[in-house]
Amino acid sequence: MKPITIALALAILCGAGGAEAKGCLKGAVVGGVAGHFAHHHAVLGAVAGCAIGHHLAHKQEKEREAAARQARAAAPPASAGQGPVAARPASAPPR
């Protein structure tokens, strides 16, 4: 029973793509250790930790995007004060 459970857990953990694994591996390690100390439920803890870690990573990514969007909205445009044509220096000859 135990080898089947471990194989199933590894298949679930490895089945997630690289882009989808954000937070999963770290959460799985923490959950596995916690589950091991909670009456030998390491596999169940790893699966739960993976799900929680993925959720928290997704939430943190959304918060970063919102902060970046807010910073872009608050920053003045790069061409502020120059207008459509840049002024010539005073020493330049007229055309």
pLDDT digits (tens, 9 = 90+) for 22-58: 788 888 888 888 888 888 888 898 999 989 998 999 9
Q: 28 in helix, strand or coil?
A: helix
Are the C-beta atoms of residues 50 and 31 closer than 8 Å to each other?
A: yes
Higher pLDDT: 81 or 92? It is 92
Q: Which amino acid is at 68?
A: A
**Element of type H or E holding 22:** none
Higher pLDDT: 89 or 59? It is 59
Q: What's the confidence (pLDDT) of residue 67?
A: 93
**Residue ranges of the alpha helices (H) in 1-95?**
2-15, 24-37, 42-74
Q: What's the confidence (pLDDT) of residue 59?
A: 93
Angle (CA) 56 57 60, round 5°: 85
How does residue 73 score in pLDDT terms, banded at 50, 70 and 90?
Answer: confident
| Mean local confidence (pLDDT), 1-28 | 69
